[in-house]
Structure 1
Amino acid sequence: MTKIIIIILILGVFLVYPGYLDLRKTNLESAKLDKNISKLEETNKNLQVEIRKLKKDNFYIEKVARETLGLVKPGEIIYKISSTEN
């Protein structure tokens, strides 16, 4: 009777352990994906704010045009000052 119980326990371990490993792997992957989702949601939130600013805020649009695209107003002159070290 004891041998049968031991055999059943050993078989149980061999049947359950691979499932446990799969579950653990799945849980780790799920946690990693949840973290990635959080980062993407934050990025999405920031992009939505950027879109709102670009649609409604003329001063922001001008700032982006000047800094990113290098645009200037008509008649405006841009002076670039470079430092020279001897």
Structure 2
Amino acid sequence: MYLIPAGCIAFILFFTVFGDKGLLRIYELRQDKEKIDARLTTTREENEKLKHDIHALKTDRRYIESIARKDLGLVRSNEVIYQFAQEKK
């Protein structure tokens, strides 16, 4: 007599924990949401940095010159570049 209600309760508990909308699935979805939120924050920060770089490239000639010197190795016509060999450790 007690087996039928106990079986029903066990059946309900099983789907409450392991079903498509169960506790384990909710836990996994929360972890996925936290990862996505962290990635979104990182992407927003990178986006703001890129917006700043775009603005600087459009308006700041000194920034353009520093990029040309650093990344492209460009120099002015009246400058002399000295390169020194690095000591090996």
TM-score by length of 1: 0.86
Match status 1:52 vs 2:55: yes
Partner residue, 1:21 = 24
Q: How many residues are aligned here?
A: 85
* Equivalent runs, 1:2-81 vs 2, <5 Å: 2-18=2-18, 19-81=22-84
1:5-50 residue CA offsets vs partner (Å, 9 max, x unmatched) = 3222101111111121111111111111110110111111111111
Higher helix share: 1
Q: Deviation at 1:84? A: 4.7
RMSD: 1.7
SS of the residue 1:73 aligns to: coil
TM-score by length of 2: 0.83
Gaps of 5+ in 1: none
Gaps of 5+ in 2: none
